[in-house]
């Protein structure tokens, strides 16, 4: 695909969003990174400006539907967006909690991880369809392949993003708008830094950003990595729950954090 020159990224103040912003920054590229942490976001913006990109950062909360709509459309008014990466997400699990996740935690995870994606991509869809061009990247997770007892809301929210994005790709194909679903495994970020359990095939952020960018350039429907972990979670899907649930219940719970 043609290299995008106008890119909007949510959750860009840290983690994968920050890595993608840095990997995309170059002369002639306009970047609209958004995030809640103003100081961290400005640091990312400064790094991208130093690489030659024109950067207009937005301190934004993706759970605020009206605010995110206004920001996305204003960004598109300034320079029509070629690529929108709905990446903002928070992580939460059952570590240290007796009896599972509390209601407020579950609702907060879905509000960011699912509603935040919808709030980001739905406003721009009519404009991209009218132009007959554009690309959406919805960041899910390998955790969305199979529900893990240690992180019900996180797995559930990422599964919803994955399936929605896969269906959206087919729905929009004739319009010329392309959709890719990104399903990373463990990536070295502040989100994973709090995990107190082994993380197989943990990948450095720079490498993960390169994998995602390469997949987007090739218009891959699903950008899932690393392949050994993809194979493992795909196998988990195929095993009857009655066989595998007793083992999964023994796994440690995921800690709660944000990105």
Domain that holds residue 55: 6-258
Provide the 8-state DSSP code for 224: E
Residue 27 lies in a domain: yes
Examine the residue annotation and report whether 173 is marked as an active-site residue of this protein. no
The model's pLDDT over 200-245, given as tens digits with 9 standing for 90+, comes to 889 999 999 999 999 999 999 999 999 999 999 999 888 888 887 7
Catalytic pick among 145, 154, 173, 186: 154
d(CA 183, CA 155): 12
Cα atoms in the 13 Å half-sphere on the side-chain side of 53: 27
CB atoms within 10 A of CB 129: 15
**68 contacts 60 by C-beta, under 8 angstroms:** yes
Question: pTM score, two decimals?
Answer: 0.92
Domain count of the chain?
Answer: 1
The model's pLDDT over 79-138, given as tens digits with 9 standing for 90+, comes to 999 999 999 999 887 766 666 789 999 999 999 999 999 999 999 999 999 999 999 999
- Checking if the pLDDT of 258 tops 70, the result is no
Residue 1 lies in a domain: no
Q: Is the peptide bond before 226 cis (omega within 30 degrees of 0)?
A: yes
Report the CATH number that the domain containing residue 36 is assigned in CATH. Answer: 3.40.50.720
Segment 13-27 shows an average pLDDT of: 97
pLDDT of residue 58: 97
Residue 69 lies in a domain: yes
Residue 53 lies in a domain: yes
Residue 190 lies in a domain: yes
Render the burial of 48-77: b for 16+ CB within 10 Å, e for the rest: beebebbbbbbebbbbebeebeebbeebbe
**18 contacts 209 by C-beta, under 8 angstroms:** no
d(CA 181, CA 174): 18
pLDDT of residue 96: 62
The model's pLDDT over 166-212, given as tens digits with 9 standing for 90+, comes to 999 999 999 999 999 999 999 998 877 677 677 888 999 999 999 99
pLDDT of residue 259: 39
């Amino acid at each position: 695909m043609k290299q995008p020159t106008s890119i909007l990224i949510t959750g860009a103040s840290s983690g994968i969003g920050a890595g993608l912003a840095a990997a995309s920054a170059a002369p002639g590229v306009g970047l609209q990174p958004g995030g809640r942490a103003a100081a961290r976001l400005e640091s990312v913006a400064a790094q991208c400006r130093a690489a030659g990109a024109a950067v207009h950062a937005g301190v934004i909360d993706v759970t605020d539907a009206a605010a995110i709509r206004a920001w996305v459309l204003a960004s598109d008014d300034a320079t029509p967006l070629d690529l929108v990466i709905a990446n903002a997400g928070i992580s939460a699990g059952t570590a240290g909690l007796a009896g599972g996740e509390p209601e407020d935690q579950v609702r907060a995870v879905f509000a960011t991880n699912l509603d935040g994606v919808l709030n980001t991509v739905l406003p721009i869809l009519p404009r991209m369809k009218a132009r007959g061009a554009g690309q959406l990247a919805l960041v899910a997770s390998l955790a969305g392949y199979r529900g893990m007892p240690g992180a019900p809301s996180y797995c559930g929210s990422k599964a919803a993003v994955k399936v929605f994005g896969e269906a959206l790709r087919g729905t929009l194909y004739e319009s010329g708008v392309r959709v890719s679903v990104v399903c990373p495994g463990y990536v070295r970020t502040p989100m994973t830094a709090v995990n107190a359990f082994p993380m197989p095939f943990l990948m450095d952020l720079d490498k993960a950003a390169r994998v995602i960018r390469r997949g987007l350039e090739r218009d891959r429907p699903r950008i899932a990595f690393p392949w050994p972990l993809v194979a493992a979670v795909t196998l988990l899907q195929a095993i009857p729950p009655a066989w595998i649930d007793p083992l999964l219940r023994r796994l440690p719970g995921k800690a709660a954090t944000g990105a």
